[in-house]
Chains A and B, each alone.
Chain A
Amino acid sequence: MRSNVPITRLGKFFGDRDFELEVEMGQEWLIGDMNYTCVLYKIDRNKIKTDDVYGEVTEDGVKFLPPIEFNAQITVAAPENKFIGTTRMDQFEPGNITISVYLKTLENLNIDVDFGDYIGYYDSENFVRYYTVINDGRVISDTKHTYKGFKPFYRTIIAAPVGPNEFRGL
C-alpha cells in the first residue's frame, strides 16, 4: 500500500535526516572506498526472442537495454563440486552471487532489477561471469533490510550463473 505518512518511530533520537546521513556515509564507504561494481543487463521484453509455446529464450535470443554499471556489496558463493543430478558427471559449478545494493543507488540511476535480468561481474580484467537474477529481493519489509528498524535502505539480489548458450553479454 502506498501512502505518504511520515515515519516517526525512533523519533526521539533518529529521523529522516539521520537516515539520509547514514545512507550517504554507507554509500561513501561502498562507492568511494570499496567500489565494487557490477553491470546490469536489463532484459528488453519487447525484443527478446522466445519460444512461441514455452516462452523460453532461444539461443542468442536475449535482447537487453543498454547495460548499466552500479555499485553494490558483492558476495560470490564458493563453487560446488557436485554431480549433475544423478548422472555421475561431476562438475565444479560456480556459486551464486549475492548483491546488496542501496535503494538510493537504484533510484539515482533510475534502474530496477527484476527476475530474469542478467548481471555481469568481472572476476578479472579479461573475464566476466554472467548471472541471471533468481531472487530480485523486491520484498524488503523484514527488519534486516531496515536501518535499525527505521526504514528499508537496501535490497539483496541473488543471481545464479548462466552458461554461454543462454547469455553471452555483448
Chain B
Amino acid sequence: MALPKSHPVKPTIPLNYSKILLPRREQIKDMITKDGTYLPKSLLHADLDKGFLEFVKEKFNIVSEGKKIPVVDIIITTQNWSQFVETWDFQNIDKNIEPPFLTIIRNPEVKYGNNPAVMYNIPNRRMYYYMEVPTWDGNRAGADIYKIPQPVPADFKYTVAIVCNRMREVNTLNQRVLETFASRQAYQVINGHYIPIINDGFTDESVLDLEKRKYYIQKYDFTMMGFLIDSDQFEVSPALSRTFQVFEVDQRTPKRKQKRQEPVNPEKIYFDYPNSATTKEIHFDYTCNLYFEDSKNIGSYSVYINNQYYGDDVTLIQVNSDDLIRIIIIIGQVSEDPQLVFTQKLI
C-alpha cells in the first residue's frame, strides 16, 4: 500500500489565499525590482543561460542507486569543453566524464522570439516611461523619470541530454520532464523576471552498435521564451521641479473702436422713518455726493453732518468718508411712513 512520504505533508496550513489577478501582477512587478534599484535588472544571454542551468539542477535533480546524478554545471558550447574537462569532478581514470550524467547544450543561434507578450511593438525601440522616482537635493524636492526601451524577445533553444547505462535512470528523467511540463510550459524566475520554458520534444541517440560500448543518450529539447533587457540602455532624466513662465506681448497700441459706455444707474439711499420717528442716521464709509431724489409725507427736513447743522431741505449733501449723516424731519399730514430718497454718486 502506498503511503505518503514525509516531505509532501504540510506542517502548517496557509491562512492567506495566494494572490491572483491584479495583486498577483503587482507581486510579480515587485519581484523585478526586489533587492535592487527602482529599475528592472538586466536580462542578457548569460543571465538566461545561467537561469536555465539552475532550472535543470532544481527540477531534474534525480537520484540513481542512491547517488545524485550529476549535472555538468556549465552550458556546453563548442569552445569550453576542453577547458572544462580540467575541472569536472565526475571523471574516470581516462579523464572522460563517467555516466550517468546530465548535460545542457545551447544552440548557438538565438532567434527573434515568439513570446506574444513582447513580440509586436513600435519600431525604432523608443524609450518608454517606467517610473517617476522622488529626489531630494538638500534644498528642494524633485523627481527623476526612469525610461527603458521595450524588451527584445528572444528564443533560446536548449538540449538537456542524459547519458547513462541503466533504463531506470532514463525513466526517472523522463518522468521528471513529463511531470514538469505536464501543462506544456514551466517557468523560471531569472533576475526577478518570469521566463516561460516549453518542451519541444525529445530524441533518442542511444549507442546500440554491437561492437561499441553501449549507453543510453536521450535528449530533451526546450525553448526558453526569454527577452533581453540591457541596463546600459536605461535612461534617467530629471523631471520638472520648478516652472518659470515668460510671456511676450505686443506693445503696439491696437486700433480698436471705442466702446460705448454703458449708462450706470446710480444707487439710491433711503432714509425711512417708521413708527413716527423723526430722526435717522446713516454712517458713510466712503466719499460721495447725495442728491435729493424724492420724499414721501415729509414737510421739511434738516441735515446734520457729524452733529453739525448742514442745512434745511438741501438738494445736495457732500459726504466725506467716515461721516455720520443725520436727517431730522417734520412729518407731513398723510398717515403713511415718511421716506427720503437720495441718489448717491461716488467721488
Q: Which residues of A are in contact with B by a Cβ distance under 8 Å?
A: 51, 53-54, 56, 58-59, 84-94, 96, 127, 134-135, 158, 160-166
Contact = CB atoms under 8 A, between A and B. Distances in A.
B345 interface: no
Interface string B205-242: 10100111110010100000000000000000000000
A92 B213 contact: no
Given A163-B98, A165-B98, A54 B167 contact: yes
Contacts of A160: 211-214
Given A89-B76, A89-B97, 15 more contacts: A51-B168, A56-B165, A84-B97, A85-B205, A85-B217, A87-B103, A96-B212, A127-B93, A134-B211, A158-B211, A161-B213, A163-B99, A164-B92, A165-B165, A166-B165
Contact of A88 (B76, B95, B96, B205): B76
Nearest to A135: B211
Interface string B70-99: 001000111001000000000011111111
B211 A86 contact: no
B317 interface: no
A87 B161 contact: yes
Given A85-B219, A87-B103, A87-B217, A92 B96 contact: yes
A59 to B, nearest CB: 4
B338 interface: no
Contacts of B105: 87-88
Contacts of B161: 85, 87
Interface of B: 65, 67, 72, 76-78, 81, 92-100, 103, 105, 159, 161, 163, 165-168, 205, 207, 210-214, 217, 219
B65 to A, nearest CB: 4
The interface centre, meaning the residue of A58, A59, A96, A163 with most chain B CB atoms within 10 A of its CB, is A163
B163 A85 contact: yes
Nearest to B82: A90
A94 B93 CA distance: 11
B81 A93 contact: no
A163 B92 contact: yes
Contacts of B103: 87, 89
B65 A59 contact: yes
Contact of B207 (A56, A85, A88): A85
A40 B103 CA distance: 35
Contacts, number: 81
A54 B168 contact: yes
A165 to B, nearest CB: 6
Given A86-B205, A87-B219, A51 B163 contact: no
Main secondary structure of the interface of B (DSSP, over half): loop
Contact of B210 (A58, A89, A91, A135): A135
Contacts of A91: 94, 96-97
B100 A165 contact: yes
A92 B76 contact: no
B47 to A, nearest CB: 22
A139 to B, nearest CB: 14
A88 B77 CA distance: 7
Given A54-B166, A87-B76, A134-B210, A164 B98 contact: yes
A117 to B, nearest CB: 15
Contacts of B100: 165
Nearest to A96: B211
A109 to B, nearest CB: 25
A139 B111 CA distance: 55
Contact of A162 (B159, B163, B213): B213
Contacts of A96: 211-212
Contacts of A51: 166-168
A36 B72 CA distance: 39
